[in-house]
Structure 1
Amino acid sequence: MNTGVKITVFAAALAATFGTAYGVGAGVGPVGAPAEPAHGGRHAAQAPAGSAGHGGHDQAAAQGPAAGGLQVSEGGYTLSLDTPQVAAGQGELRFSVKDAQGRKVTAYKTEHGKELHFIVASRDLTVYRHLHPVRAGDGTWSAPVDLPAPGAYKAFADFAPAAGGAKNVTLGADLSVPGAYAPNPMPPAARTADVDGYQVALGGTLEPGKAGELKLTVSKDGKPVTDLEPYLGAYGHLVALRAGDLAYLHVHPNEGGPGPDVSFTATAPSAGTYRLFLDFQHQGTVRTAAFTVTAGGGAEPVAEPAASPAAGAAVEESGEHSH
């Protein structure tokens, strides 16, 4: 059996009630300046040599390392958004990572083909963007982005500075799109997702404090896809966000490929609701399949995606892989 990449995130304190469908409230109203950043710990996704996980192993409480993406500043590094507020639709995000002296970082380790991985997600977890920003010589990063509607979002920067042998750091900062806003309900738990004519089936369970395999199987027109293409050096990338505080983790699959199965060994840090986002590439295009899963609280029912806007959110999530 292949050695897995272990998901080990845990938050020392939740920024909002854990297990809620979204972390910004259920009311309808305008969104203006971004909220103050939530605080927590760092993530750790530990992998053996030859696999593609991200590191970071500070211990916080007996359950394990703290969660990633809950802090805007950590380990002497700060995520600074030049554009903490953008208009709905097509726009551009600009940001930098600053060191303890306030200088923009210009040297990074290259991991999975990139110096820095950048994720944007809505607080209600129905919009997901995996961006690939470009760094200018002065350390300023920029990337085009399409955020479809007003609301509260969060940006995550996952990187390893070149200086001082630093391990991976994941920082998170609040981002907003002004306008009247009503959060969407959490998409229902389902074992299959349809994305641009592809079907992705999720097997396995996510249990708090217990390692288990999550296997995602890609098919098209009822036939298994056996020629998945490497994307950033892997046949699939998985990002998981915890409902309520958006604790972040970014891991890569167990050895194997090129399909139809992409598997991960995962341990949930706590009971609750999570959104899983699987990026996979086929015929030159990257697509994203999204799932809502529950860790703990009994067996999760197997359900087909409903014919509703919430269930169709995976289409929205699949469309943004900017380079």
Structure 2
Amino acid sequence: MKRFSSPIRILLLLLCAFAVPFRAHAHVGSKDVYEQVDAGPYKLFVTIRTPIVIPGVASVEARSNGATVKSIRITPLPITGEASKHPPTSDPMTNSSADPAFFTGSIWMMASGSWQVRFEIAGDAGTQTVSVPVPAVALSTLKMQHGLGITLGILGLFLVVSMAGIVAAAVRDARLAPGAIPSPDLRRRAILATAGSLVVMALLIWGGAAWWNVEAASYALDVYHPMAVTPALSGNTLDLNVQSYDGGKERSFRSNKDFLPDHGHLMHLYAIREPEMDAVFHLHPELASAGDFRISLPAMPSGTYKLYGDIVHANGFPETLVSTITVPADMPGGPLGPDDANGSPQPLSQGQLGNSYKLPDGYVMVWDRPSTVSANTAYAFRFHLLDANGKPATDVQPYMGMAGHAAFVKTDGAVFAHTHPEGSAAMAALMLANGSSENDASDRHGAMNTVAMNMDMGTHSEPISSTVEFPYGFPSSGRYRIFIQMKHSATIETGAFDVVVP
């Protein structure tokens, strides 16, 4: 029976995948990866729809522009470790006959962890390679659907009864001459054999159920559980105590001592006031000790705030840590940090925000809203920053190394995704996937090499474009509030927009 355990386990997990609700890891409630990548002269808009169970199949979509792409091959492999040096055979993507620039493919993710999908691109400009990081984890388990369970139960009962009937017939009739009638003794033996076979099959079923319970418990250890974070507010000092996660297996361990800087910060913390979402802060706590992030909060309106803290582990695996704090009315507040930002949009109850958002200094942020928006569809959402005269701003500067930052938040708190113009993947993970080694990211004492991993675009004497795009797809229907941060001169602006996804 052992030699069938692995295939049976994979088959049953795949059957259950059709009805499993997902939870988030890198982003809350948003498991798929959306990324715009450059590979020399080639540009790809990549969507990776990750599996809910591991092992599982991830679907990959890529739209090319720039130099003409003739073929793309894809390979899944870990970002770090020995296995990252030995990629398996790549799989070809299929391009659409109706749209030759659109490619689709699928790959198996066989283990949980920090993975990458490597794209081997061939076209008019030669061959190039680029990788997109993918956090691959089992997100949930679910009991078998009631209808499927009844169907399988009936089929199992039929097999048991049929097997008992076969045993009874074999004992009663196997040695009879043609046309002969079984004797009373043979009938008694057949009854005893039937009862014995039923007992044996009952024991087999019981043993199978016990084996499956062990397998299910073992698999549950691999289901993603976020690292626990305990917030403590004293005065205006916020401590976020992050605990290591140990799921009982070596591969389920995640440390609170191995964080990589992303855009120069070990944590990007969004604080959003509930339930109206009328106050938002993008903050950057510092690591005071192992697992202890600390920040002096700025002046904040009182109320309950949902906290979303993005971190990246040394192997490139990202997580969003979720907690809640209550800010009292008399909390003393300090100034915002150099990279911190805040915004005060109108409360959700006052209606839906439109396509234009007026900022406190007279500037305006405008969203090129798509004519239609649907769930599970990839978009490049475009935003513009206009000056007080309604003209494209000419003094736009990088904000933490990017043209802008965005947070897509579902109003019920079920979805949170902090994204960048390149996409939803963490930039530290993107660097690791495309050539930066583990030694570049962290020295042997665990101190982060901020030179290697700082994603800042540097000091710009020339302004950058006043238009920014964010690749993303809404994972489910509902109402969302989108927070956009852009910087002009020394001012960091926060715009807000609402959208209802049918």
- Unaligned 5+ segments in structure 1 are 1-10, 15-39, 297-323
Alignment of 1:46-57 (within 5 A): 46-47=34-35, 49=37, 57=50
Q: Secondary structure at the match of 1:218?
A: strand
Whether 1:250 and 2:418 are equivalent positions in the alignment is yes
> Could you say which residue in structure 2 is the equivalent of 1:224?
392
CA distance 1:289–1:184, change in 2 (3 Å):
closer
Whether 1:215 and 2:215 are equivalent positions in the alignment is no
Structure 1 vs Structure 2 CA RMSD = 3.7
Identify which of 173, 198, 207 aligns with 2:363: 198
> Could you say which residue in structure 2 is the equivalent of 1:98?
243
Alignment of 1:18-33 (within 5 A): none
CA–CA distance in 2 between the matches of 1:76 and 1:284? 36
* Residue 224 (structure 1) shift: 0.6
CA–CA distance in 1 between the matches of 2:49 and 2:297? 28
> Could you say which residue in structure 1 is the equivalent of 2:322?
172
Identify which of 393, 402, 427 aligns with 1:234: 402
CA distance 1:43–1:130, change in 2 (3 Å):
farther
Identify which of 329, 339, 353 aligns with 1:189: 353
> Could you say which residue in structure 2 is the equivalent of 1:59?
52
CA–CA distance in 1 between the matches of 2:416 and 2:326? 18
Identify which of 220, 227, 237 aligns with 1:77: 227
CA contact (8 A) 2:353 2:496 kept: no
Deviations 1:87-137 (A, max 9, x none): 7xxx22111221025998233112222111111001221110000111113
CA contact (8 A) 1:42 1:170 kept: no
CA contact (8 A) 1:108 1:161 kept: yes
Identify which of 298, 301, 310 aligns with 1:158: 310
* Residue 175 (structure 1) shift: 1.6
Deviations 1:256-304 (A, max 9, x none): x9222111232111221101000111112211011111122xxxxxxxx
Q: Secondary structure at the match of 1:223?
A: coil
* Residue 42 (structure 1) shift: 6.3
TM-score normalised by L of structure 1: 0.64
Q: Secondary structure at the match of 2:265?
A: coil
CA contact (8 A) 1:45 1:250 kept: no
> Could you say which residue in structure 1 is the equivalent of 2:469?
263
CA distance 1:269–1:63, change in 2 (3 Å):
farther
Whether 1:278 and 2:484 are equivalent positions in the alignment is yes
CA contact (8 A) 1:240 1:248 kept: yes
TM-score normalised by L of structure 2: 0.43
* Residue 173 (structure 1) shift: 0.8
CA–CA distance in 1 between the matches of 2:243 and 2:369? 40
* Residue 189 (structure 1) shift: 2.6
CA distance 1:145–1:174, change in 2 (3 Å):
same
CA–CA distance in 2 between the matches of 1:202 and 1:216? 5
CA–CA distance in 2 between the matches of 1:261 and 1:127? 24
Q: Secondary structure at the match of 2:396?
A: coil
Q: Secondary structure at the match of 1:115?
A: coil
CA–CA distance in 2 between the matches of 1:63 and 1:155? 30
> Could you say which residue in structure 1 is the equivalent of 2:499?
293
Letter aligned with residue 109 of structure 1: L
CA contact (8 A) 2:366 2:385 kept: yes
CA distance 1:236–1:59, change in 2 (3 Å):
same
- Unaligned 5+ segments in structure 2 are 1-19, 39-43, 60-135, 140-222, 247-252, 330-346, 424-462
* Residue 49 (structure 1) shift: 4.8
CA distance 1:266–1:138, change in 2 (3 Å):
closer
Alignment of 1:6-21 (within 5 A): 12=21
CA contact (8 A) 2:245 2:255 kept: no
CA contact (8 A) 2:50 2:58 kept: no
Q: How many residues align?
A: 243
Deviations 1:125-163 (A, max 9, x none): 11100001111134321112246444321111111122x
Whether 1:132 and 2:300 are equivalent positions in the alignment is no
CA distance 1:236–1:212, change in 2 (3 Å):
same
Name the % identity.
Answer: 22
Greater relative contact order (Cα 8 A, min sep 6): structure 1 or 2?
A: 1
